[in-house]
Amino acid sequence: MALGAIQALGSKAGGDVKIFGFDGTDDGLKAVKSGKMVGTIAQQPKELGKKAVEAASKLIKGEKVQKTQSIEVKTVTKENVADFE
């Protein structure tokens, strides 16, 4: 949705209007790098997958798992966007 906002705002995106996204997609990272978007939240799909497999393994063994599992997200800005490319 942030990328759609950038498109709709045109030249105002990143200047008059600050945009912050969520997901840390490749296009989102490019928008942060170019200055069209202030930042984005990068989810960690590898960590999500790891936690899911661990939970499934426990369930198969008859063990209990927490109903809610928290996965840390990362804030991506122009200063650290290179770390996520």
Mean pLDDT of 36-49: 92
What is the model's pLDDT at position 80?
96
Q: How far apart are CA 64 and CA 13, in angstroms?
A: 47
Residue indicated by tokens 């600050």: 18
Position 69 pLDDT exceeds 90: no
DSSP 36-70: SSSEEEEP-HHHHHHHHHHHHHHHHTT----S---
Mean pLDDT of 56-78: 94
Position 45 pLDDT exceeds 90: no
